[in-house]
């Protein structure tokens, strides 16, 4: 229940925009890490945020997920103002993964997922034996299978290989059944084979929910995205279809030009 | 042997088709093994204590029975410290504050209101919940060294206030607490009967262990572990860290308070020393020696500490130096504590390669 996003007010314009930022900015001291970014993300599919290092991509994610507060501007989730903390924003239906793996290393792989799915359970089950939380358990098992981690279920998350930890990182974000999923460089540091598997996974996720993806692998971005937003020095440089963005001379100068 | 075989079988199965519920079953089986080793130790501990008490009673002893009772009461304070340190990963340097408040509340009720066991313990629990809520609202906002400093400061302030309050006996504390009758089902036990009151506290300690072991196996208990391991991820899974910390803090405070409430029943007096820094640090020492996050460890540690002090104290008045040296040795050579060693020996899976 906690998962369901509130319906927009009656009479309000019904749109398929699930996530919107309006003139979103944040500065750290004198540096405007994100500067007046306005984007509207439509429901479903994969939208990628690209840009060179330091363009403000991860900061943009941190703003949307409530990890840091904006200096100015607004964030709307399903037409409603984003609330003030990560846990409340998760309740609005938004979940995220992290660029630097952010798991519970001393807990088992299964427990990492079970814990992440616990939010699906009624509060009262919090003080009953763990086994009574059957929804969370089933969710964790389904994710273990889907992310090919079932044979690792009882291992500690910290004992997994890098690629497995990256997969678990995505699975944990997915466990709370979000409507909007932010993936921050999910394939970072993965081998070529792992990247290809993960790519297929992300593609399948795009068919189920709205995915926002930060990714450096341009080939992957171009193959998966329906929409691409280019950030450069904290500002939005361009957005559009993958083809339109890669043909944009400004983008080529700022981003592709360097490669 | 059987468990090893079952584990091997589980690993073989996991390679092929685990089937519906396979992964979860394997994980639960592993968790059961880990907790079973601690429950075994707890059973051993309580049985040994019961045998000791039976022998002491048959020998007509009262000193050691009372000492064991005091150690169990002090064990309540140690367990409350362990809930914060071992489960939620929060180091409280002022847990004795709640122990002392409970002791004063119980003493005041018995002396000035009514010499009733349940009324006195109820007052202790109430005082602990209230003070825990107030202290927790302040302390749960921070973590790490700041949490330690805030809990330390709170305890110092309240101890000083009580030390300077004439109505509470100031530095002398409260003496002349009447001997109460403890109702145990159909009969009553006099609080000054060494074996009788030992039994009351013994049962309370077993109940406490059982309830907290249960709590550790609930999603709430798991959230505390998650808080300890990686507090920053928790909010992104939908759980704000503050309220979870606060809940742990209030529970720990209430347990310390109720343990404190038993103290004046045993000793007949309370004094500001009960909430001093030394009490808080002794509780931490008991937790670390016994095994952090094991629940039975703190009881074991408290028993060792209280008896150790008493025995060493008959040889030298510098017993704190000996205790300090033992504590350092424990940290250096058995960082997981006694119960932690048992758990690692009998309860943990073999480390995987991948």
Q: Could you report the per-residue pLDDT of A167-206, keeping only the tens digit for each?
A: 999 999 999 999 999 999 999 888 888 898 899 999 999 9
Q: Which helix (H) or strand (E) holds B148?
A: helix B145-163
Of B26, B217, B351, the CB nearest to A153: B26
Indicate whether B185 pLDDT > 90. Answer: no
Tell me how close the Cα of A256 comes to any Cα of chain B, in angstroms.
Answer: 33
Q: What is the pLDDT of residues B21-35, one digit of tens each?
A: 588 888 998 888 888
Between residues B79 and B3, the one the model is more confident about: B79
Residues of A with CB below 8 A from B22's CB? Answer: 150
Q: What is the pLDDT of residues A120-151, one digit of tens each?
A: 999 888 889 988 889 999 999 999 999 999 99
pLDDT at B16: 41
Q: What is the pLDDT of residues A51-93, one digit of tens each?
A: 888 889 999 999 999 999 999 999 999 989 999 899 999 999 9
CB atoms B219 and A102 under 8 Å: no
Distance CA B112, CA A92 (A): 54
As to burial, measured by CB atoms within 10 angstroms (0-12 exposed, 13-18 middle, 19+ buried), residue A7 is: exposed
Of A111, A150, A175, the CB nearest to B222: A111
In this structure, is residue B194 part of a structural domain?
Answer: yes
Structure tokens of B130? 């209230």
CB atoms A130 and B219 under 8 Å: yes
pLDDT at B21: 52
In this structure, is residue B14 part of a structural domain?
Answer: no
CB atoms B27 and A104 under 8 Å: no
B67 three-class SS: helix
Q: Which helix (H) or strand (E) holds A156?
A: none
Asked if B354 reaches chain A (Cβ–Cβ under 8 Å), the answer is yes
Tell me how close the Cα of B16 comes to any Cα of chain A, in angstroms.
Answer: 9
Give every CB contact of residue B63 below 8 A, 6+ residues apart in sequence.
none
CB atoms A90 and B235 under 8 Å: yes
pLDDT at B161: 93
Give every CB contact of residue B144 below 8 A, 6+ residues apart in sequence.
none
Q: What is the pLDDT of residues B299-344, one digit of tens each?
A: 999 999 999 888 888 887 787 888 888 888 888 888 888 888 888 7
Asked if B242 reaches chain A (Cβ–Cβ under 8 Å), the answer is no
Indicate whether B351 pLDDT > 90. Answer: no
pLDDT at A29: 86
In this structure, is residue B15 part of a structural domain?
Answer: no
Mean pLDDT of all residues belonging to chain B: 88
Tell me how close the Cα of B114 comes to any Cα of chain A, in angstroms.
Answer: 35
CB atoms A121 and B26 under 8 Å: no
Residues of chain A with CATH 3.40.50.300: 15-93+180-259
CB atoms B354 and A161 under 8 Å: yes
A56 three-class SS: coil
Indicate whether B4 pLDDT > 90. Answer: no
pLDDT at B316: 79
Q: What CATH class does A15-93+180-259 carry?
A: alpha beta
Tell me which residue of B288, B299, B284, B278 sits closest to B330, measured CA to CA: B288
- How large is the average pLDDT for residues A238-252? 88
Q: Which helix (H) or strand (E) holds A127?
A: none
Q: What is the pLDDT of residues B216-259, one digit of tens each?
A: 999 999 999 999 999 999 999 999 999 999 999 999 999 999 99
Task: Give the nearest chain A residue to B231 (CA atoms).
Answer: A104
- Count of domains forming chain B: 1
pLDDT at B257: 97
Domain containing residue B87 = 36-339
Q: Residue B195 maps to which CATH number? A: 1.10.3470
Distance CA B90, CA B243 (A): 14
């Amino acid at each position: 229940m906690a998962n369901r996003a509130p319906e927009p007010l009656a009479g309000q314009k019904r749109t398929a925009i699930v996530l919107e930022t309006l003139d979103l900015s944040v500065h750290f001291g004198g540096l405007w890490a994100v500067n007046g970014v306005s984007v509207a993300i439509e429901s479903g599919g994969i939208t990628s945020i690209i840009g060179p290092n330091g363009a403000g991509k991860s900061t943009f994610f941190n703003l949307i997920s409530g990890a840091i507060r904006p200096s100015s501007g607004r964030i709307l989730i399903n037409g409603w103002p984003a609330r003030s903390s990560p846990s409340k924003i998760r309740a609005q239906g938004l979940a995220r993964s992290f660029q630097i793996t952010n798991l519970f290393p001393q807990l088992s792989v299964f427990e990492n997922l079970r814990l992440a799915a616990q939010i699906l359970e009624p509060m009262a089950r919090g003080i009953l034996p763990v086994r009574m939380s059957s929804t969370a358990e089933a969710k964790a098992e389904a994710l273990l299978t889907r992310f090919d981690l079932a044979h690792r279920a009882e291992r500690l998350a910290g004992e997994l290989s890098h690629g497995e930890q990256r997969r678990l990182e995505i699975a944990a974000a997915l466990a709370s059944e979000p409507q909007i999923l932010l993936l921050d460089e999910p394939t970072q540091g993965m081998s070529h084979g792992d990247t290809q598997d993960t790519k297929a996974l992300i593609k399948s996720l795009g068919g189920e929910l709205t995915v926002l993806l930060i990714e450096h692998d341009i080939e992957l971005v171009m193959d998966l995205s329906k929409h691409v937003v280019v950030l450069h020095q904290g500002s939005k440089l361009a957005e559009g279809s993958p083809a339109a963005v890669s043909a944009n001379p400004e983008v080529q100068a700022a981003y592709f030009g360097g490669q | 042997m059987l468990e090893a075989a079952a584990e091997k079988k589980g690993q073989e199965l996991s390679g092929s088709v685990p089937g519906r519920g396979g992964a979860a079953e394997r994980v639960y089986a592993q968790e059961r093994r880990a907790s079973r080793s601690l429950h075994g130790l707890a059973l051993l501990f309580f049985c040994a204590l019961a045998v000791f008490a039976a022998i002491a009673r048959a020998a007509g002893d009262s000193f050691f029975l009372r000492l064991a009772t005091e150690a169990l009461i002090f064990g309540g304070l140690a367990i409350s410290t362990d809930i914060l340190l071992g489960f939620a990963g929060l180091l409280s340097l002022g847990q004795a504050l709640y122990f002392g408040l409970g002791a004063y509340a119980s003493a005041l009720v018995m002396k000035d209101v009514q010499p009733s066991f349940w009324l006195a313990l109820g007052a202790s629990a109430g005082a602990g919940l209230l003070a825990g809520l107030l202290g927790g609202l302040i302390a749960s906002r921070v973590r790490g060294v700041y949490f330690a400093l805030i809990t330390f400061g709170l305890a110092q302030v309240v101890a000083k206030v009580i030390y300077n309050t004439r109505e509470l006996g100031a530095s002398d504390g409260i003496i002349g607490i009447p001997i109460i009758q403890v109702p145990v089902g159909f009969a009553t036990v006099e609080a000054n009967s060494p074996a009788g009151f030992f039994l009351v506290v013994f049962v309370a300690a077993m109940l406490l262990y059982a309830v907290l072991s249960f709590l550790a196996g609930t999603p709430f208990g798991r959230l505390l572990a998650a808080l300890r391991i990686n507090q920053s991820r928790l909010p992104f899974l939908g759980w704000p860290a503050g309220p979870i910390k606060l809940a742990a803090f209030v529970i720990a405070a209430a347990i310390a308070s109720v343990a404190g409430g038993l103290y004046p029943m045993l000793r007949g007096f309370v004094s500001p020393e009960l909430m001093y820094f030394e009490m808080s640090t002794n509780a931490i020492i008991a937790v670390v020696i016994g095994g952090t996050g094991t629940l039975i460890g703190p009881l074991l540690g408290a028993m060792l500490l209280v008896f150790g002090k008493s025995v060493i104290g008959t040889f030298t008045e510098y017993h704190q130096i000996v205790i300090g040296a033992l504590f350092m040795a424990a940290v250096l050579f058995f960082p997981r504590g006694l119960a932690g060693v048992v758990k690692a020996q009998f309860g943990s899976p073999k480390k995987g390669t991948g």
